[in-house]
Amino acid sequence: MNKKERASFILKFLNKIYPETPIPLKHNNNYELLISVLLSAQCTDERVNKVTPELFKKANNAFVMKDLQVDEIYKIIRPCGLAPKKSKAIQKLSSILSDEFGGNVPESFEELERLPGVGHKTASVVMSQGFGHPAFPVDTHIHRLAQRWGLTKGNNVKQTEDDLKKLFPKNSWNKLHLQIIFYGREYCSARNCYGLSCKICTTCFPNRKKAIYTKKT
């Protein structure tokens, strides 16, 4: 298979086994989604979903959150990685949303990425899952799978995102990035397969003998 053939097979295969793609992070509005995605950095979705009910019970909008003390936020989100830094970012971005956006989450990459603690991947998730705009959020997990599947030779998530956007139809991006995450967790996780065992790896590279390890910058 060449790269385009691999991409075509992967898209059809993932559509078959994951026809529905529920958003893993529990939320009731775009503000809660933004905070949940911010918390998910270096933290599992499962853990985020355990801490956010208490956090959102105290504050599920920017106006209330900005008035919480950073220490109060920290005590709730402490189980998540980088909690001290995230606590400050949540309080600060809530102040910005309140002061500059009427409490609303902005609907643009530029404005989202200006917010403390919000990088391109977080902005992409909010744009795709919150607003429905075509985006292809790429984290380290998707970066790893794209390399195993021969879809990119990128050394960083930005280059991998660019490569995947060129390979897959724009109308598939929002669903596909979740399908890849689901598949990776179930069949092609970081500590198994290594490009040698799962259905996608063995179909795309039936003669592969050597394990594939993620290239990083």
- Hey, what amino acid is at 159? Q
- Are residue 42 and residue 112 in the same domain, yes or no? yes
Please report which confidence band the pLDDT of residue 214 belongs to, taking 50, 70 and 90 as the band edges.
confident
Residue 20 φ/ψ, nearest 5 degrees: -115, 145
Pick from 120-124, 179-183, 212-216: least confident: 212-216
- Are residue 36 and residue 126 in the same domain, yes or no? yes
| CATH number of the domain encompassing residue 70 | 1.10.340.30
The residue out of 113, 130, 147 marking a domain boundary is 130
- Are residue 175 and residue 143 in the same domain, yes or no? yes
Residues 174, 126, 34: CA angle, nearest 5 degrees: 145
Q: Which residues are part of the catalytic machinery?
A: 121, 139
Question: Which structural domain range is residue 149 located in?
Answer: 3-20+136-204
- Are residue 112 and residue 147 in the same domain, yes or no? no
The sign of the dihedral angle between the CA atoms of 19, 188, 39, 34 is negative
Q: Is residue 210 part of a domain?
A: no
Domain count, the chain: 2
For 82, the token pair is 């980088």
Please report which confidence band the pLDDT of residue 81 belongs to, taking 50, 70 and 90 as the band edges.
confident
Q: Is residue 211 part of a domain?
A: no
